[in-house]
Amino acid sequence: MPSFSTTTKDEISKLELKSKCCLRAEIAAIIQMSGSLSISGGGISLKVTTENASIARRIFNLLKVIYEVHSDIVVRKNRQLKKNNSYMINVEGSEKVEHILRDIEVLRDRESIYYGLSNRISPNIVKDRCCKRAYIRGAFLGGGSISNPERTYHFEFITNDDEYSKDLSELVNSFGLKSKVVTRKDYYIVYIKEGEQVVDLLNIMGAHNALLRLEDIRVLKEMRNNINRIVNCETANLAKTINASLRQIKKIEFIDNTMGIENLPENLKEIARLRIENQDASLKELGELLSPPVGKSGVNHRLRKLEEIADELSEGGKRVDRENC
């Protein structure tokens, strides 16, 4: 069964291709996250690698729609782990590649003979709010992941450059979110952990089906947590009631064995007998059995009085024993 992250990427990859400025922002993010340049005898080529077929088709269509470029897709079988397919989208031709990279402002010149991908997000590419959303969507497709929300709430972008990770975090936070950056081995991770913020981020990217699924899971988890809290509370209260009842019964039995319940005042005699006969009853239930009925505080007062009498009898017995020694 596909992971939550995979199904979310599949959904985003099928979003309609609309405004050209947003498409430029999306492809810019994908290339900066998972693209690379290579130089050979035939010139410069641009390569973008992914393990998701839907994302590969998305990249192919973006390049075709924006630049009328027909790129090649090479499918390879990974030898490690689950041996999933790897898809490499390849654009060859120096002029073509340079035109694409300059248009989305991700090209960095080095000594006039070497081209590299920029490690900064161009303000011109994300100047509009819609383009910011598109860039974040592309960054997720290029190097993001989301954990199974049934286990934990965690959304992250994996980057390999400190400056780029800070730019991306700032871009995400421009929507009122609170992403942070942490290093993990040689990578810089932009991440969000709160469930509500993960929902907001899915909404920003346009992953509405994933958002609804996550919200359903959040509701179920909250219901389970509430039920557990209620059960734990009731269990604690029940244990407290049982322990109090056992203590009270022990005191009443001591009174009966020393002075006799019959010698107690009528109100204490009545509650003592009811407690012996209804050992699992709560204070409220005992009060309803009295005639006339008495509230919880009244029942509690009488039971405490019985405990005081038992303690006085016990102390008196101890004094007699000491005097006889």
Domain boundary assignment for the chain? 4-206, 233-324
Cα separation values, 177 from 33, 121, 146, 198, 246, Å: 21, 18, 16, 9, 54
* Average pLDDT value for the chain: 88
- Taking 60 as the threshold, does the pLDDT of residue 215 lie above it? yes
Whole-angstrom distance, CA of residue 153 vs CA of residue 194: 6
Whole-angstrom distance, CA of residue 257 vs CA of residue 255: 5
Q: What are phi and psi of 38, to 5 degrees?
A: -135, 145
3-state percent breakdown (helix, strand, coil) of the chain, nearest 5: 60, 15, 25
Q: What is the pLDDT of residue 320?
A: 42
Which run of H or E residues covers position 167?
helix 162-173
Whole-angstrom distance, CA of residue 98 vs CA of residue 95: 5
Q: 4-206: which CATH topology?
A: Endonuclease I-creI (3.10.28)
Q: Which of 58-62, 203-207, 314-318 shows the lowest per-residue confidence on average (mean pLDDT)?
A: 314-318
Specify whether the CB–CB gap between 151 and 194 falls below 8 A: no
- Taking 80 as the threshold, does the pLDDT of residue 122 lie above it? yes
Confidence band for 323, pLDDT divided at 50, 70 and 90? very low
Q: What is the pLDDT of residue 199?
A: 94
Specify whether the CB–CB gap between 40 and 84 falls below 8 A: no
SS3 101: helix
Confidence band for 132, pLDDT divided at 50, 70 and 90? very high
pLDDT tens readout for residues 62-110: 999 999 988 888 888 776 656 678 899 999 888 899 899 999 999 876 5
Determine whether 299 is exposed, middle or buried from the number of CB atoms within 10 Å of its CB (0-12, 13-18, 19+): buried
Confidence band for 244, pLDDT divided at 50, 70 and 90? confident
Position 78, amino acid: N
Specify whether the CB–CB gap between 14 and 121 falls below 8 A: no
Q: What is the 3-state secondary structure (H, E, C) of 64-83?
A: HHHHCCCCEEEEEECCCCCC
Confidence band for 11, pLDDT divided at 50, 70 and 90? very high
